[in-house]
Amino acid sequence: MVEPLEKLAEVLREVGVGLPTPGMNPGATSEMGGGITESTSSRDVILHMDNLQAMASLPDASIDFIYLDPPFASDATYWHEIHLPGHTIRQLAYSDSWPDGLGSYLAFLVPRLAATRRILKPTGSICVHLDSHSSHYVKIALDTIFGAENLINEVIWRYGKMSNTKRRFPQNHDTLLLYGATPDWYFSPIHNAPSEYRTRFLRDLTDNRVLYGSVKHRSDKLITRRIAAKSRDLGRELRDDDVLWDFDTERKVQDDVFTDISIVRGNAREGTGYDTQKPQKLLERLITAFCPEGGAVADFFCGSGTTGAAASTLGRPFVLTDINLPAIQVSRLRLPQAAFDRDPALTPPSFLVDTTGAISDFRLDDLGLGAKDKAVVAQLLVSDPQSLIAGHIGETVIDVFGREATRPR
Ligand SMILES: C[S@@+](CC[C@H](N)C(=O)[O-])C[C@H]1O[C@@H](n2cnc3c(N)ncnc32)[C@H](O)[C@@H]1O
């Protein structure tokens, strides 16, 4: 047995002791400090804390859909960068290096995966977003925690990144593992892409439809089969104006390979400068499929807050957590805007709960900056960056954290 598997077996044994059934809380209480309180539980909320602590403070069976995009064990460092004319402000977002490799990564992640089970509603589900660094080990963990029979999907997201590799095929997908809390998970099918047949009939289309008259002489099997089925349905011979395909209504059911959503590129409108930011469209697709209208969404590794932006756009309440301040800053700046997009009359719905449970603004003091840097960062991050840059910093790159670090290749 290779070392990570031994570690995984050990961690699973530990978390397996008293693994609660979905929706049942054997011991966790909101006295664990911080987190959700009665006054915050029905609102959108951003928690700046370790997600184990955040989850412990959530009520049983309170969440419909959990999306987790944890570190992938990629052995890299990730940054948040704000690019302004002539200036870049850069802060360390998070590190994804593990002292003992996969073993210590799994020892970190698996208890967090196990902790999600209690807070999911029986109809709830979880999506864990990974890549080939760890997805196979994590699948074993999820099979154990949720039951292999509750695996809903293994979604392949092909993100369309260009890369130049000489010794292997370019890596171009992530893996999303979806599990139901119980076999009664909620799911609403998505009819997404236009029917794949449409392109075959482009030159035959009349008002986005294919009429019997325009294709009746073809020997194409697809057409002859459709003619036979239609004729059977109508109980008569077809006439020239009978519709064989109507592409306004005929759409393709989304399958488990997503190829139409691209990675967030540097110049994308939704780009926040947070490395590893996921596209909002991806989250919107998942939430639409797995979270009923009005249901609650949670993301305990929220990064730049994509899940909150998607949930907000779709009118679902959300809980976001991240342990690192840059993620909280970016999410906080982004979310009022997302809510605003939905309804300009709304006041910003999100707020921050710090590690003591107090509801506050984010605490710039936690950054450990000198007074000058602090003033600059406060202005750049909290206010309109474009209008405040002039006169505050020169041509230098300010690394708020990790001054000695260099950007990983
Ligand atoms: C891959 S990123 C998430 C990116 C996010 N999906 C987005 O679209 O921006 C992983 C995040 O997990 C956070 N994280 C790592 N350990 C954590 C912990 N113990 N509790 C909460 N967040 C954590 C990191 O700070 C990082 O922001």
Question: From the alpha carbon of 299, which atom of ligand 1 is closest?
Answer: 6
User: Residues 43, 317: contact at Cβ < 8 Å?
Assistant: yes
User: What pLDDT shows up at residue 219?
Assistant: 86
Does 3-16+41-190+254-399 carry CATH code 3.40.50.960? no
Q: What's this model's pTM, rounded to 2 decimal places?
A: 0.76
User: Residues 66, 124: contact at Cβ < 8 Å?
Assistant: yes
Q: In sequence order, what DSSP letters do the residues of 280-332 get, joined into one string?
A: HHHHHHHHHHHS-TT--EEESS-TTTHHHHHHHHTT--EEEEESSHHHHHHHH
Instruction: Say yes or no: CB of residue 323 within 6 Å of ligand 1.
Output: yes
CA of 69 to the centre of ligand 1 (A): 7
Mean pLDDT, each 10-residue run in order, the chain (409 residues): 82 71 47 45 73 90 96 90 62 87 94 96 97 96 95 96 86 97 96 76 89 91 91 93 88 89 87 93 97 95 95 90 84 64 41 39 46 51 35 30 27
User: What pLDDT shows up at residue 13?
Assistant: 87
CA neighbor of 129 nearest in space, from 277, 23, 21: 277
User: What pLDDT shows up at residue 232?
Assistant: 94
User: What pLDDT shows up at residue 301?
Assistant: 97
pLDDT digits (tens, 9 = 90+) for 180-227: 999 999 999 998 766 778 888 888 999 889 999 999 998 888 899 999
The structure tokens listed for 319 are: 């809980």
CA of 305 to the centre of ligand 1 (A): 9
Scanning 184-267, the segments in alpha helix (DSSP H) are 212-215, 221-234
Helix (H, G, I), strand (E, B) or coil at 51: helix
CA of 307 to the centre of ligand 1 (A): 12
Instruction: Say yes or no: CB of residue 304 within 6 Å of ligand 1.
Output: yes
Q: Among residues of the chain, what percentage have pLDDT more than 90?
A: 46
For 99, what's the count of Cα atoms within 13 Å in the CB-facing half-sphere?
2
Question: From the alpha carbon of 112, which atom of ligand 1 is closest?
Answer: 19
User: What pLDDT shows up at residue 268?
Assistant: 86
Q: Scanning the structure block, which residue is given the tokens 């926040």?
A: 272
Domain range summary for the chain, segments of one domain joined by +: 3-16+41-190+254-399, 193-252
User: What pLDDT shows up at residue 383?
Assistant: 41
